[in-house]
Structure 1
Amino acid sequence: MNTGTLEPMPNKPRTKIRGVRVPDELWEDAQKIAKARGEDVSAEIRAGLERYVKRNRNLLD
């Protein structure tokens, strides 16, 4: 039964919310694929950014 109250959030470290522009079709396809695979689009975006930084870490020096 929904009482109109929010459930407590799990005690996890929070990260800042970022805004990015993504074409609608790409976002919708990514969401469909992630759902079919039991994954989370946000987690996949983070993983992609981690790979990008790892590949280009030499540019930070």
Structure 2
Amino acid sequence: MSEMGSRQRMSFWGVLSIFTLGGVIYVLIERGYFLLLYALATGALCLFLIVVAFDIGLDRTGREE
């Protein structure tokens, strides 16, 4: 039986991505680009919902239900 390596709880790139996203949101709010921020948030939500809907439509073998 192979030994399991220690699981890394936080990824460097994950943490860097979160800080980058936070920085972009902070700059957009500070400069008053609320409409752009709203449009980006709406696009991200739509993309998330599309991914979830696509994932629900597939079974474990990858075929459509």
Per chain length, whose mean CA-contact separation is higher, i.e. which structure has more relative contact order (CA < 8 Å, sep 6+)?
Answer: 1
Higher alpha-carbon Rg: 2
| Bigger share in helix | 2
